[in-house]
Structure formats: structure tokens, C-alpha cells
Amino acid sequence: MVQIYETAVLGGGCFWCLEAVYQEVDGVFSVESGYSGGQVPDPSYEQVCSKTTGHAEVVRIKFNPARLSYREILEIFFVIHDPTTLNRQGNDIGPQYRSVIFCQSPEQERTARAVVAELQRQGIAPVVTEIAPATSFYRAEEEHQNYYRLHPNQGYCAFVVAPKLEKFRRTFVQKNAPIQIRGCQRFYSAVSQFNSCPTATSPTVAVTCMAEP
């Protein structure tokens, strides 16, 4: 049976953080860490960190649009990173950590611009997230794939990735249907919230428990 999927490419700080979150979302087939938006073909991590290639650290997400919409992908994105800091996420500073959405279609661009407009109407400003057309994606080195799963006790993972992952588990931005955490029994429903500080207190959420299938 042929699986139908769509692709999203997002950058919002260190790719380890985004990868860890989207790996838990039901409807996601795969998440790859990599580099996009630069001028040097197939750059290394060291080259990207030199801030001279123009690339952003990104994740490429393949997802089932029948189970997870692109809008929901973006709503998660804006919860787990700060879209108001230019070329920076916390102590990670540089253009490789910029907030960016690489749109794979005109429809994705329209959705991205609509979500950003909603953020601004809610008073989240300035939103510096770059909305750009799709460009080449270069898969990062193997040591950067599945990083949090393989190294949960590593310092950066424990103090930076884990709080973002926990915030994702507690706070969902949604409009119509709940987003299910893969491997979890709970659906979390929350009113539209775009407070992107990973250490902020989560809003009260309605939790519905369901039996394991």
C-alpha cells in the first residue's frame, strides 16, 4: 500500500529540539535533522556553525495530512520556539538558529502567513519568522539524527530540549481536533496559546484519557 504524505521543513533553533518534539506527534512518518537556506552545497555541521554558509538548522517532517494538518504542524512549531528573536533561540545565537518556514507549496505559504498574522493580532510581536520558498535540504550527519532519543541525559538535552518537549506535551495549540501524542493515552486540548517561552507555566488544559487500542 502506497503511503501518502506531505513534507514540512522548519527551522527554530537547534534541530535537536524540533526533532524530539515532532517524533512524538501522531501522524508524523519521519523527522530528519538537516540544513536548508544556504549557498554551500551539502555543508557540514562545522561549516554551518561558522555562520558563513547561510544555512539554517532545520527538520524535514513527513506527515500524513489525513491525520495531521500542516496548520497543526505550524501551531506546534510556534509553541516550542520563540518567533520574536532574530537569529537566536535562548543561548543559541547565529543565523543558523533563525526562525524560518520553507514552504513546499503555495498552499503552505498561505497557511504560514495566516498563522503568523494570527500571532500578530494576538499581540505576539515582532514575529521575525522568515517565510521562504522551498530550497535544497541537506541531511545532517548521522550523529545529529535521533539525538534526544539517544542522548536524553546529555547536558543540552536535559536543560534545553527536555523543557521544550515537556511544554509540547502539556500545551497544544488547536482549533478543531486534538493532536495526539504518539505512544501516549491522552489527548490534550487547549485554547489558542502562543507563549513560546519553554519555561513558562502552561495554561490549564482539558485532558481526556482514552484506553489503549
Cell of 131: 517565510
Backbone φ, ψ for residue 163 (5° rounding)? -60, -35
Is 103 one of the catalytic residues?
no
Grid coordinates of 96: 543558523
Between CA 34 and CA 57 the distance in angstroms is 6
Number of H helices, E strands in the chain: 7, 11
Element (H, E) at 186: strand 186-189
Rounded to whole angstroms, the Cα distance separating 213 from 196 reads 33
The answer to whether 36 touches 136, Cβ cutoff 8 Å, is yes
* 25 DSSP assignment: B
Cα gap 181→168, rounded to integer Å: 9
Whether 187 and 178 have beta carbons less than 8 Å apart is answered as yes
d(CA 199, CA 140): 28
- Distance between CA atoms of residues 2 and 4, nearest Å: 6
Instruction: Choose the catalytic residue: 14, 17, 103, 157.
Output: 14
Catalytically active residues are 14
